[in-house]
Amino acid sequence: MPDDIVDDSAEAGPPLAVPAELTLDILRHSAAHLMAAAVVELYPGAEYDVGPATEEGFFYNFRLPDGAHFVEEDLSRIEARMRELAKRRIPFEREVMSRDEARRLFSDLQQTFKVDIIDRMGDEVAEVGIYRTGDFIDLCRGPHVAHSGRLRTVKLLRVAGVYWRGDERNEQLQRVYGTAFFEREQLDAFIAQREEARRRDHRRLGVELDLFHLSEHSPGSPFWHPNGMVIWNTLEDLRREENRKRGYLEVKTPLLFDVDTYKTSGHYENYAENIFFVSSRDEGTQFALKPMNCPGHMLLFGSGMRSYRELPIRYAESSTLHRDERSGTLHGLLRVRHITQDDAHIFCTDDQIQDEIHGMVEYANHLYAMLGVTPRAELSTRPEKRLGTEDQWDRAESALEQALQGHGMDYVISPGEGTFYGPKIDLHMTDSIGRSWQMGTIQLDYQMPSRFGLSYVGADGQDHTPVVIHRALLGSLERCIGILTEHYAGHFPLWLAPVQCEIVPVQDDAPEVVGYAHSLREVMRAAGIRATVSDKPGQRMQARIRDAMTQKVPYVVVVGRNDLERGDDVVNVRSTRAGTQENMAVAELVARMEREVAERIST
RNA sequence: GCCCAAGUAGCUCAGAGGUAGAGCAACGCCUUGGUAAGGCGUAGGCCGUGGGUUCGAUUCCCACCUUGGGCUCCA
């Protein structure tokens, strides 16, 4: 065993394999212990709960005496005390004791969280591991660093209130997040990386690139600027075109429904607190802004006689939805109240489910490939609170799982994370600081059609209840654009870029040069290219180029007298993303841009 | 909703118990320039909102709103 690791204990869970080397997780877990030791010294009477290593670093949860809270300044105090403890090279000492003994020990220390953890252990656990770091004692399996001298490169990051055991009905504890590295350079790199993430932040780029803004006049509802709308409409065009190829029928259903509709669907019972209610001058009827499209599509299907010959019917609608999200949860474009889903509902027979879901997974993969992103798939299974029979859930879950496996997709299973009416496949993406967000979703539903009394006439002449597949592939346009902005760091591929080509005249007061620039713009516009001429007066050519670069315009063309004199229609083209600069005939440039757009090249 | 922060010019930010500043952007004039910021000038602020303390509050205190980082939630 390496001598900088202290052995793991044999208990408090199954024995861990002794690692061959000191890993970052061990270092960080040890740092969590050291932080708890510092907190207990600085705040006598503080109780400590749990403190694991995480992907980014570590945390520890505390209850401070008299219900006190940590404030940000406390972090530097705690960090300073940790440095002192590190300097003293205090050994991490392991001890194994009986469960009863450990319970007494923590009981005497008035560490009620630890006592609770011991009480919750299974009967088969007879002994537990204890680690001592100086006076600090923790219940722990280890392993740990040999002594605190290894914990010099530590940084505390933030404080947060967290519910005990992750349940909002419980009291809130104080959590301190931190991180630790082996070397100072690694910590510096970590900090530099956070800076880079800040530069990619879609809220920052949204302002810089003039895509959208948020206003306190309507929290959670973005205002889309002309540049942002170009991206928005390009994605709308994309989903329309691709839907059309796959036999979807575009429909439009109301934004406002009476509350009874949501009682029928079950949403009122499950999500009443997130629904915006609207009053009408007609007393007696209360309305609500639609938080999802399903009920509208159910009513549409139910508005006429349906035959098995018509199925599957695929209704598509990219509609505005409103959800009254809890105030603390709003987050730029990634979590909004005004949400626009590229929604669709497929009404089909049991026999058609497999094909439909396969087609959808394939469709999703096609779309994401065009966007140049790779989502992670998640299969969410039956939740505790649900409608329907176990048999229906068995069939629905296996249909989704088979589709994933049939396409050779990697996926994780999220037990209990399905909706109240059915299981789902979710497609997740990561934002600039590594948080995961759901984009697409495919949900299988045996419940809502029967709640709405839907039926179709089968080949046997009898009424049958259709199955519904709910799906949104981009997810919400808001979130999708937010994620794409961060994914490309604002350098959108040509087909999505708000301005695709900026034409910079060298001499902006020479009519022939400006005229040429404008004629180039017209040639490009005729070819469907979004081109602009940078002809704001009083600006030098260099400044214009710089503006185009900071606006991340994919192509910048500079034209001047020299080009006119040559008269060969060859211009100088800068490719912002490739970082190249070359001379090219105008026709060639236009052809190249047309191809990039048509093929939706996302390099 | 809960814990911690932040809200000052269009943007990025400085400031201080005596009534507000910079850079960029905007506007005007000058500059006629060949590949990432030419010069000078002008205008621009209910210092998030509402209370309180004070002779005086943008500054201190309280509440609320919005935004950010977590937690919880996410059809």
CA A49 vs. chain centroid, Å, equals 29
Beta carbons within 8 Å of A3's beta carbon, 6+ residues apart: A146
Q: CA-CA distance, A81 to A83, in Å (whole number)? A: 5
Protein-to-nucleotide distance from the CA of A152 to the C1' of B60, whole angstroms: 39
Q: CA-CA distance, A339 to A477, in Å (whole number)? A: 8
- Residue A123: is its pLDDT beyond 80? yes
Protein-to-nucleotide distance from the CA of A12 to the C1' of B30, whole angstroms: 79
Q: What pLDDT, in 10s, does the model give residues A65-82? A: 988 899 988 999 999 999
Neighbours of A106 (CB within 10 A): 23
Q: What pLDDT, in 10s, does the model give residues A233-257? A: 999 999 999 999 999 999 999 999 9
Whether the Cβ atoms of residue A79 and residue A155 lie closer than 8 Å to each other: yes
Closest to A315 (Cα-Cα) out of A329, A295, A301: A301
Decide if A343 is catalytic: yes
Nearest nucleotide to A574 by CA–C1' distance? B35
Q: What pLDDT, in 10s, does the model give residues A13-58? A: 433 445 557 899 999 999 999 999 999 999 999 999 999 999 999 9
Q: How would DSSP label each residue in A348-378? A: E-GGGHHHHHHHHHHHHHHHHHHHT--PEEE
> What residue type is A475 in one-letter code?
G
Protein-to-nucleotide distance from the CA of A75 to the C1' of B6, whole angstroms: 18
Q: Which residue is nearest to nucleotide B65 (CA to C1')?
A: A216
* pTM recorded for the entire structure: 0.94
Quickly state the pLDDT bin for A284 (edges 50, 70, 90): confident
Decide if A246 is catalytic: no
Q: What pLDDT, in 10s, does the model give residues A504-515? A: 999 988 899 999
A539 or A494: which leads in pLDDT? A494
Q: CA-CA distance, A54 to A217, in Å (whole number)? A: 38
Structure tokens that stand for A144 in this block: 């740990």
Decide if A345 is catalytic: yes
Decide if A155 is catalytic: no
Look at residue A20 in the predicted model and tell me its pLDDT.
Answer: 58
Q: Which nucleotides of B are covered by protein (CB under 7 A)?
A: 1-5, 7, 11-12, 25-39, 65-75
Nearest nucleotide to A508 by CA–C1' distance? B32
Protein-to-nucleotide distance from the CA of A73 to the C1' of B63, whole angstroms: 24
pLDDT, averaged across chain A = 93
Q: What pLDDT, in 10s, does the model give residues A478-498? A: 999 999 999 999 999 999 999
- CA dihedral of A242, A243, A245, A248, whole degrees rounded to 10: 180
Q: What pLDDT, in 10s, does the model give residues A78-120? A: 999 999 999 999 999 998 999 999 999 999 999 999 999 999 9
Q: Choose the catalytic residue: A28, A267, A323, A428.
A: A323
Q: What pLDDT, in 10s, does the model give residues A339-394? A: 999 999 999 999 999 999 999 999 999 999 999 999 999 999 999 889 999 999 99
Q: Choose the catalytic residue: A8, A141, A175, A341.
A: A341
Query: ipTM of this model?
Result: 0.95
Protein-to-nucleotide distance from the CA of A332 to the C1' of B9, whole angstroms: 24
